């Protein structure tokens, strides 16, 4: 289904399932067939789909989604029938090495950990947003970084026993960043919600940004909020593209 030559083409496949403890349950499979814990942008799209197809009804303007990483709460922005955008609680970031997971002797938070990759030493900040992330901050434009070369090496580096999502970010001010993400099991994607959340948290840990940041990716803008203590909130638009029928065999 995810193959862009023989299928519909996608970074991953999400399933909407019944839930015992939330409004709906999701499962997410990367394009390579591996199962992922969570996707921020994916959950926002799933919420739009579930509400507009009548699979979930917002209560007090919110929908609760059960994911492998835990139950996420989404604020639905729209007229109740059509969903224009979604503000999603991504949960609190996790910084302990075993929770990322990453093999290091550094004490949390793991900021600017040296990582030897492809003949270069990277200073990456590691954390979990329900899935593992390593973030590298650049001085130059993110579009000039050789992500297609370095991304696969970081993803499968021996320091990350569950592999890792690798983001390269550039801070333009206290409220603005740009970002590219090499996603585990997928490759570079046009937008990554959990990657945007991780990049904002990493930037705030380093004192580079404030509590609210607009993040530009090739696929469009996202807004990430984190006060340095509690949950991370991800806000962005969700749009319907097409529907089709998958014929078995």
Task: Examine the domain organization and report whether 86 and 115 are in the same domain.
Answer: no
Task: Examine the domain organization and report whether 179 and 206 are in the same domain.
Answer: yes
Spatial separation of the C-alpha atoms in residues 150 and 148, rounded to whole Å: 6
Task: Examine the domain organization and report whether 120 and 156 are in the same domain.
Answer: yes
223 CB burial (10 A radius; 0-12, 13-18, 19+): middle
Task: Examine the domain organization and report whether 37 and 102 are in the same domain.
Answer: no
224 domain-assigned: yes
Which CATH number does the domain housing residue 29 bear?
3.10.310.10
Task: Examine the domain organization and report whether 166 and 116 are in the same domain.
Answer: yes
Indicate whether 84 pLDDT > 80.
Answer: yes
- Confidence tier at 248 by pLDDT (50, 70, 90): confident
How many domains does one find in the chain? Answer: 2
206 domain-assigned: yes
Picking from 76, 91, 106, the residue at the C-terminal end of a domain is 91
C-alpha to C-alpha distances, 23 to 12, 85, 148, nearest whole angstrom: 22, 18, 38
45 domain-assigned: yes
Is the full-model pTM beyond 0.95? no
Picking from 56, 71, 91, the residue at the C-terminal end of a domain is 91
Task: Examine the domain organization and report whether 79 and 147 are in the same domain.
Answer: no
What average pLDDT score do residues 96-106 get? Answer: 98
- Name the residue range of residue 144's domain: 97-235
Spatial separation of the C-alpha atoms in residues 234 and 203, rounded to whole Å: 15
37 domain-assigned: yes
pLDDT tens for 53-76 read: 999 999 999 999 999 989 999 999
Picking from 75, 91, 107, the residue at the C-terminal end of a domain is 91
74-83 long-range CB contacts below 8 Å, 24 or more apart? 74/43, 74/44, 74/47, 76/47, 76/51, 78/51, 81/51, 81/52, 82/52, 83/47, 83/48, 83/51, 83/52, 83/238
Spatial separation of the C-alpha atoms in residues 197 and 56, rounded to whole Å: 25
Q: Which helix (H) or strand (E) holds 52?
A: helix 40-52
- Confidence tier at 79 by pLDDT (50, 70, 90): confident
Q: Is 6 helix (H, G, I), strand (E, B) or coil?
A: coil
C-alpha to C-alpha distances, 149 to 3, 11, 82, 154, 188, nearest whole angstrom: 21, 19, 41, 9, 11
> Which of 183, 186, 133 has its CA nearest to residue 10?
186
Are the C-beta atoms of residues 135 and 104 closer than 8 Å to each other? no
């Amino acid at each position: 289904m995810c193959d862009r030559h023989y299928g519909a083409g996608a970074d991953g496949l999400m399933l909407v399932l019944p839930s015992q403890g939330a409004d709906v349950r999701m499962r997410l499979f990367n394009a390579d067939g591996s199962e992922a814990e969570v996707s921020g942008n994916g959950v926002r799209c799933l919420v739009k789909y579930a509400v507009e197809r009548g699979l979930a009804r917002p209560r007090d303007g919110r929908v609760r989604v059960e994911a492998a990483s835990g139950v996420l709460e989404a604020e639905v922005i729209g007229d109740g029938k059509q969903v224009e955008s979604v503000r999603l609680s991504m949960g609190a970031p996790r910084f302990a090495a075993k929770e990322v997971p990453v093999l290091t002797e550094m004490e949390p938070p793991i900021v600017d950990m040296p990582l030897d990759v492809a003949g270069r030493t990277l200073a990456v900040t590691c954390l979990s947003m329900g899935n593992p992330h390593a973030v590298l901050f650049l001085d130059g434009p993110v579009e000039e970084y050789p992500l297609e070369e370095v991304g696969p090496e970081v993803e499968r580096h021996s320091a990350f026993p569950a592999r890792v999502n690798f983001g390269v970010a550039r801070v333009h001010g206290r409220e603005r960043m740009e970002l590219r993400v090499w996603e585990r099991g997928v490759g570079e994607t046009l937008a990554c919600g959990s990657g945007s959340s991780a990049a904002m948290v990493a930037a705030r840990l380093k004192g580079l940004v404030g509590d609210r940041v607009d993040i530009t990716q090739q696929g469009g803008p996202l807004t990430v909020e984190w006060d340095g203590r509690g949950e991370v909130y991800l806000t962005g638009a969700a749009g319907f593209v097409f529907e089709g029928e998958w014929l078995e065999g």
